[in-house]
Amino acid sequence: MMKISKIEYYLPQQVLTNEDLEKLFPEWSSERIQEKVGISQRHISSDSETVLDMAVQSSEKIFENYDRNKVDFILFCTQSPEYFLPTTACILQDRLGLRKNVGAIDFNLGCSGFVYGLAFAKGLIAAGIAKSILLVTSETYSKHIHPDDKGNRSIFGDASASAIIEKAEGNDYQFCLGTDGSGAENLIVKQGAFKKDFELNPEHEFSPENIYMNGPEIFNFTIENIPGLVKETLEVNGMTMDDIDHFVFHQANSFMLNYLRKKTKIPAEKFYIDMEKTGNTVSATIPIALKNMMDKGMLKAGDKVLMAGFGVGYSWGATIMEI
């Protein structure tokens, strides 16, 4: 078994409130945005602030109370990397002053990224490759969004979360992971890498350099797949809904989460929603939620948490962790 020993996160200083969006888009009201997505503000990285800068900030918080020399592997999840090459995780090793005999790798995933990172960490620990893993999820989706894209600007925020994953005694909980690449076109940035022969939908896309999201299709994918993911995760771990103390899903938007909760028949008191002040921070939403729960005293030793991430890819994953 493994455990999450520590979690810290960093939010950029710049804040975009619903009132700010109302000034930019007078046809929208701040109350309507709050009601629709459950978000009142989101943090936005500055023009010069990158996922690496934010990762340093969240990781240094970890090392205020954890010996950085224990870390022997870095897993860095982002879809806004510093460069095509070199690997951002390698630069992070140097920026943090970590020893050189550590492994370091980036992986490109969005909303399922934290769960996948835990799965990778489990494999590294089980294989005896690593004992202390720094798992970083850092994202600046705001840099992908067109200034006139009021829908995505109301949803996404920037953030970085860092966690220490270590070996622990106890139950060995299993992962359920899934992929459906046929949905790739529904959440995509078409230009920026090496694919050139793409088509644009002039009714929906601002430019190929900006993020495009087909909201209805993303919602349909989530509703069709995530209830089954929760059921499968419980089954492979030999557990029922009653055995789980808390359910922490990717914080996409409050409407989607409440719909999912009702469809999966999860009791409201067990289902945690926490995005009002941060927005959808992609791969960082689950660790941010867990950290806030810890700070509020909502998690106690022995609690079992079912975590589920889902979105761009399409990609999804879930597992259970014991506090």
* Residue 111 among the catalytic residues: yes
* Residue 77 among the catalytic residues: no
State the distance between the two ends of the chain, measured CA to CA, in whole angstroms.
11
- In sequence order, the 6+-apart residues with CB closer than 8 A to the CB of 228 are none
Q: Angle at which helices 254-264 and 215-236 pack, to 10 degrees?
A: 40
* Residue 176 among the catalytic residues: no
Find the catalytic residue in 43, 144, 246, 250: 250
Find the catalytic residue in 18, 111, 144, 176: 111
User: Which residues have a catalytic role annotated?
Assistant: 111, 250, 280
